[in-house]
């Protein structure tokens, strides 16, 4: 999320998620700044940086939703990208300088046969121009200074990788579903190398971040029209939207008051939660030590809490 900025004059108590359809040519930081200027929330953060070249889903947390950003970032992400063969770029995307070329263009059958090798838990070396830290500095800062940069390999998880269309011998459009920390640019680079050539990402669109999908996203150009009515237009999603993988635990009004004060409450043996539409509810007897839950007072989220030895201990209180 970066450093927290002070609220703008006249800031409003907006709490929830806004899904932005980030345009190409704009950094995630500039997109956040544009939303801050248009809506003036007390606090704002985002779930997962997109490179300036990339477009698509950029979930923005407003107000109390900033306390749930980590859970959104941990969710699966989906991308659609164009792999262009024949040129390796310094940044592994179209913004970098050409550093290697190849005349080889893989056949469709070879491409299809190579994809399964990149599905599952794989070791991946991040791009030299990336935000990973090397000796206390960002890799991209070292690369821009002319240093030879080779980040350490890291284990990432690719859920699926499939060919959507082959647009002639030069390009292939692919769809990727992956876990946290996966670099699409590295995947494209390594796939091209496995096919006996070189390549880079020519276009990239993120279509999903956890529960936030492409059909929820609004274009940046629409923000000024929202003005003071983001919630009225239905674009402001509830704070708990980011918590799809976190089970709900119903608490009484008295328990909710204690949790809001930062105090733990005993729940072992208490009655289970009432029916809710999410299907995420847990009875206290189903909890195991260390489980993170969303304590709910009726339909209102109270706090993210951890169950330990019969108690629910607040981790992040939600002031809603």
Catalytically active residues are 51
Are the beta carbons of 173 and 152 closer than 8 angstroms? Answer: no
Cα 257 to Cα 6: distance, rounded to the nearest angstrom: 29
| Residue located via tokens 């007390």 | 42
Q: Are 150 and 128 in contact (CB under 8 A)?
A: yes
For the record, the structure tokens of 108 come out as 């469709």
Residue 158: beta bridge partners? 120, 178
Beta-strand pair 311-317/265-266: antiparallel
Identify whether the C-beta of residue 314 lies closer than 8 Å to the C-beta of residue 269: no
């Amino acid at each position: 999320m970066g450093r927290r900025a002070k609220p703008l004059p006249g800031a409003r108590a907006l709490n929830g998620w806004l899904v932005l359809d980030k345009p190409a040519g704009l950094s995630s930081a500039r997109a956040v700044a544009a939303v801050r200027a248009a809506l003036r929330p007390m606090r704002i953060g985002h779930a997962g940086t997109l490179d300036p070249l990339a477009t698509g889903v950029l979930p923005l947390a407003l107000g109390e939703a900033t306390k749930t950003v980590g859970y959104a970032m941990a969710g699966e992400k989906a991308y659609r990208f164009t792999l262009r063969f024949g040129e390796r770029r310094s940044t592994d995307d179209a913004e970098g300088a050409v550093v290697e070329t190849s005349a080889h263009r893989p056949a469709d059958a070879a491409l299809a046969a190579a994809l399964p090798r990149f599905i599952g838990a794989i070791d991946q070396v991040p791009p030299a121009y990336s935000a990973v830290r090397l000796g206390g500095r960002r890799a991209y800062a070292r690369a821009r200074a002319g240093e030879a940069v080779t980040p350490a390999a890291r284990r990432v998880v690719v859920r699926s990788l499939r060919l959507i269309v082959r647009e002639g011998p030069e390009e292939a459009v692919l769809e990727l579903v992956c876990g946290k920390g996966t670099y699409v640019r590295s995947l494209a680079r390594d796939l091209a190398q496995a096919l006996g050539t070189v390549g880079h990402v020519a276009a990239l669109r993120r279509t999903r971040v956890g529960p936030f999908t492409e059909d929820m996203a609004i274009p940046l150009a629409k923000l000024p029209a929202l003005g003071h009515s983001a919630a009225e237009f239905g674009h402001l999603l509830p704070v708990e939207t980011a918590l799809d993988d976190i089970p709900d635990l119903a608490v009484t009004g008295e328990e909710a008051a204690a949790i809001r004060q930062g105090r733990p409450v005993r729940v072992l043996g208490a009655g289970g939660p009432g029916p809710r539409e999410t299907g995420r509810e847990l009875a206290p007897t189903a909890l195991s030590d260390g489980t993170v839950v969303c304590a709910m007072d009726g339909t209102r989220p109270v706090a993210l809490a951890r169950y330990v030895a019969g108690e629910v201990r607040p981790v992040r209180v939600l002031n809603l």
